[in-house]
Amino acid sequence: MKRFVEPRTRQEFIDAVRDADDAGLPLLVIGGGSNLLVADEPFDGVVVRDARREVHRLGEGADAADGANTQTAQEVLLRADAGVNWDDFVTSCVNGGFSGIEGLSGVPGTVGASVVQNIGAYGQEVAQCVHSVEAWDRQTSRMVTLTHDDMHFGYRTSALKSSMYEAAGVPAKRFFPTPRYVVVSVTFVLCRSVNGVVAMGQLAKALGVEVGCTMPLDAIREAVLQVRAGKGMLEDPLRYGTPAMRGVRRPQNVAEAMKQRAVQASRSVALNQGAGTRINERTEAAHVARARADGGNANRAEMDQPDMNRHSCGSFFMNPVLSTTTAAALPADAPRFDVTLPDGTAGVKTSAAWLIDHAGFHKGFAVRPGAAAGLSTLHTLALTNRGGAKASDIAELARTIADGVAAAFGVRLVPEPVVVGMDLMTPDRAQ
C-alpha cells in the first residue's frame, strides 16, 4: 500500500479520507478487516483504519431527532464512533441494560461496518435499531446526516453498500472498495430493559424456551455466543494479541473471549470423550465449570493454538434472493422464505449453505488434499484458512463452490465480504 493511516480524532479521520480522494488514490477504509478478502498483490492506495472508539449516551425525550425510529419513554439514544468494535458495543449495551442488539453478539467488525452491511443474526438486524448515520460524502466533500429511511436498508445491504457496486458483486468504477458515504458515527435507538425477546428458533432451542419469550440480555448473549462457537462462527481472540490488532478491542473483552474459547474447548473435550455414547451432562458441566474457573489455564498449550475453523470471514456467501420463477426451479426440499424484492414484487430467499452442501461441497471440503484453504469442518458457509493460505487460495475455493452451485441449481452465489483486487463473479472457464 502507499500509505496506512490510523486517525484518532474526528478531523484526522475526515482529513485522511479527503486527502486520499484529492490525490486520486484508491481508498480502503477498514474496521477490523474481518469482512475483507484482499488480493495477494499490493494495494496501490491508502488504507485508513478508524481508531476512534467513543460511545456517548444522548439526551432523552425532546432531544430525540426526527426519523423513521422515534424515541419513547422506554428508549435511549446512543451515538458510537464508526471505529468502535462491534462486539465491544454489544457488550456495553447488554451490561448497561439496553436491549435490541444482543442477538448480534459475536459479530466481528466495527460499528461503521455494521450499517454498511446491515449485519443480522438470530432474529435481529442492525437496521432495526439505527436512528441515523453521520457520514462524510466523498462526492460533495461535506458531512451529511442520513436518516433511517435514507439508508435504504435491505438484506445485507444499505445505500452505502449499494454505492460500491454496479450490480451484485460487481464493483463500481468510482466508489470501491469504500462507499461514497464514509461512516463517521452511528446513532442507535435501544430499549431500556434488562430483558430481550428470543426471536429465532435456533436460539430458543439453546435457551430451552419458545420463540417470543423474554429472557435476560446476558442469557441471550451467552446463548448466541455458544451457538456461534459451536459452528466455528466466532473470531479467534488470539488475533487481538498480534501487533497489528492490539488495542482494537477492549482488553477485558478479549480476556472474556479467551475464557469463552476455553469453555467451548472443554465442552468439545467432553463431547469427544463421550463419542458414540450419550454424553453425561454432569461430565460436560464439570469440564465447563473448570474452564470458567481458570479461564483456560489448564489447557493453556491447546488454547495458544489457533482455531482454524474461526479463521474465516464468517458467512462467505449471501443467501440468494430470487424471483419466484427462478426459485420454482429449485428442488422441492430447498429452503424457501417469502421476501419482497427491491422492485416491490414477491420473491424467495433460499439458503446458501443448503445449496453448497447439496451441490456436493460438504463440511471440510478442499479443492485438493492438503490445500491451505477449505470449508470449515463445522459450517459450509465459512471458507477458512487452514494454515498459510493466500488470497488466491481462498479465491480458488470460492470460485469452485460458486461454479458448482451455479451448475447444479442455476443460481450464482454472491460473496458477502468486500473482495479487493479479484473477480469472483465471473465463472472459471477452465473448470
Asked about 281 being catalytic, the answer comes back as no
Residues forming a β-bridge with 47: 4, 28
Asked about 156 being catalytic, the answer comes back as yes
Pick the catalytic residue from 315, 376, 386, 396: 315
Asked about 315 being catalytic, the answer comes back as yes
Pick the catalytic residue from 102, 125, 235, 416: 416
Pick the catalytic residue from 156, 221, 261, 310: 156
Catalytic residue positions, numbered: 156, 315, 416
